[in-house]
Amino acid sequence: MSEDKNDRSELDHASEEEVRETVGLTEKGAARRRFLGNLGKGGAALAVFGMGTETAMQTLFNRSTLSSAVAAGIEGFHVEGKVDGIIWLNDRPINGELPPHLLHDEVTPFSNMFIRNNGVPPEKAGIDAAAWTVTVRGEAANQEKSYTIAELKEKFEHHTLQLWIECGGNGRAAFSPSPRGNQWDLGAIGCPTWTGVRLRDVLEDVGYDADKAVYIGYKAGDAHLSGRDDLDALSRGCPMRKALEDETIIAWAMNGEDIPEQHGYPLRLVAPGFPGSASGKWLTEILVRDREHDGQGMTGHSYRMPRHPVEPGADVPNEDMVVLEEMPVKSLITYPKTGVEIAAGSTLKVAGKAWDGYGDVEELHVSTDYGVTWQKADLKRPVNKFAWQLWEADLEFPEQGFYQVWAVATNSKGDRQPMVLPGWNPRGYGNNKAHHIDVRVKA
């Protein structure tokens, strides 16, 4: 059970009694409340004492977006314009993913794009996009230089690319023991089009010392959850080799419109192939560093993998962790929805997406017999490098009964998705286990 606990199909199959039992247990019995005055020290704690959570939040942040999210609670929580069926994992910070069948669009629309926030986004209504600037500086930059969005648009060549962004922790929920962090199942991935300028062009315009430059780090306009000004919600980046790639861009538009508030309005980085956290939202600064960037989310266990394989549950010292860079090859079956029923003798068209951190998926195979035999799917070339690739296959089933359809992608290096969970790691990154759906063939 533990290995496959993230499989939606299993959830779908939970008996009604099981569901009732789980829900019912929270309602019965008497509560025994114990009052306690033992709060931790610190101004924030003092501010909370004697107040409801919402009041405390408003006091701490004085941000209307936050208080409204809090007031709504997760039950009634929703981000306007997002599709019904999005799975909200958290409302503070906002985190939501899609079930695979809601990722069937060729180009992911706003409504079906996952949200992974680490802090509190700046409110769109309060942003004067004309006055927004991104400043490039840092140890290896030749100068400090700022650009308005208008200047970026005027000065540099525009590029519109379809680029996927996947959270580094997508698939975390499957690992056991549970690594801490958002328990993402399968759908923290999306592939909209982005319009902007190459980061490389901007870095060259500023000028930097190529011998000294090792990494770029970003600073962003979102607030830390604690409300403290001295902490960044997230300040990650990527090595120069990634920063200088054709597809690493500073974007102002998503799907041809202003980037939505939750996705980085008015300006963001998109560094496809790397964990989504490298694609900083609400971009305000780019640091050209002479060392691996050490901002929020770069150190300790955050977005890092063990240098050597470890056993599940291992306590890995910080010095044995290295930054997670290219995401592993992966695919999803986005059509049909798991649990589909078909008539015996009919053909089932299955379809999905495939992507790889190095840019190209070479082949995709599907199996209806748990990997005994494989059928090659029709896999399209990407519309551009780092766009996800569409695939489809027509399947026939030998007789009535219950089947699972498994899909396995292979990248240009020959790396194939595993059908078992890849190696456990302390924070549960990089789970690219093959996805499957359930199919019932009726007599």
329 DSSP 8-state letter: P
Per-residue x/- track, 193-222, another protein (CB under 8 A): ------------------------------
Q: Of these, 17, 34, 257, 347, which contacts another protein (CB under 8 A)? A: 34
Q: Which amino acid is it at 57?
A: M
Q: Of these, 15, 16, 41, 420, which contacts another protein (CB under 8 A)? A: 41
Axis crossing angle, helix 64-72 with helix 53-61, rounded to the nearest 10: 160
**Position 28 contacts another protein (CB under 8 A):** yes
Q: Specify the residue, 117 or 331, whose C-beta has the smaller distance to another protein.
A: 117
Q: Count other Cβ atoms within 10 Å, centred on residue 130.
A: 9
What DSSP string describes 224-261? PTT--TTSBS---EEEHHHHTSTT-EEEEEETTEEPPG
**Position 25 contacts another protein (CB under 8 A):** yes
Distance in Å, CB of 264 to another protein, minimum: 21
**Position 35 contacts another protein (CB under 8 A):** yes
- Asked whether the beta carbons of 170 and 155 are under 8 A apart, the reply is no
How many chain residues are in contact with another protein, going by CB under 8 A? 51
Q: Of these, 16, 17, 33, 211, which contacts another protein (CB under 8 A)? A: 33
CA distance 25 to 205: 62
Distance in Å, CB of 443 to another protein, minimum: 37
Q: Which of residues 132-191 bind another protein (CB under 8 A)?
A: 176-178, 180, 183
Candidate ranges 36-44, 106-114, 189-197, 366-374; the one touching another protein (CB under 8 A): 36-44
Q: Which of residues 289-348 bind another protein (CB under 8 A)?
A: 296, 299-301
What DSSP string describes 265-326? TT-EEE-TTSBGGGS-SSEEEEEEESSS--STTSSTTTTEEESS---TT----GGGEEE--S
Q: Specify the residue, 32 or 308, whose C-beta has the smaller distance to another protein.
A: 32
| 64: CB partners within 8 A, 6+ apart | 123
Per-residue x/- track, 233-262, another protein (CB under 8 A): ------------------------------
Candidate ranges 85-93, 257-265, 343-351, 409-417; the one touching another protein (CB under 8 A): 85-93
- Asked whether the beta carbons of 182 and 428 are under 8 A apart, the reply is no
Q: Is 177 helix (H, G, I), strand (E, B) or coil?
A: coil
Q: Count other Cβ atoms within 10 Å, centred on residue 234.
A: 24
Binding site for another protein (CB under 8 A): 5, 21, 25-36, 38-42, 44-45, 48-49, 52-53, 56-57, 60, 70, 73-74, 89-93, 176-178, 180, 183, 224-228, 231, 296, 299-301
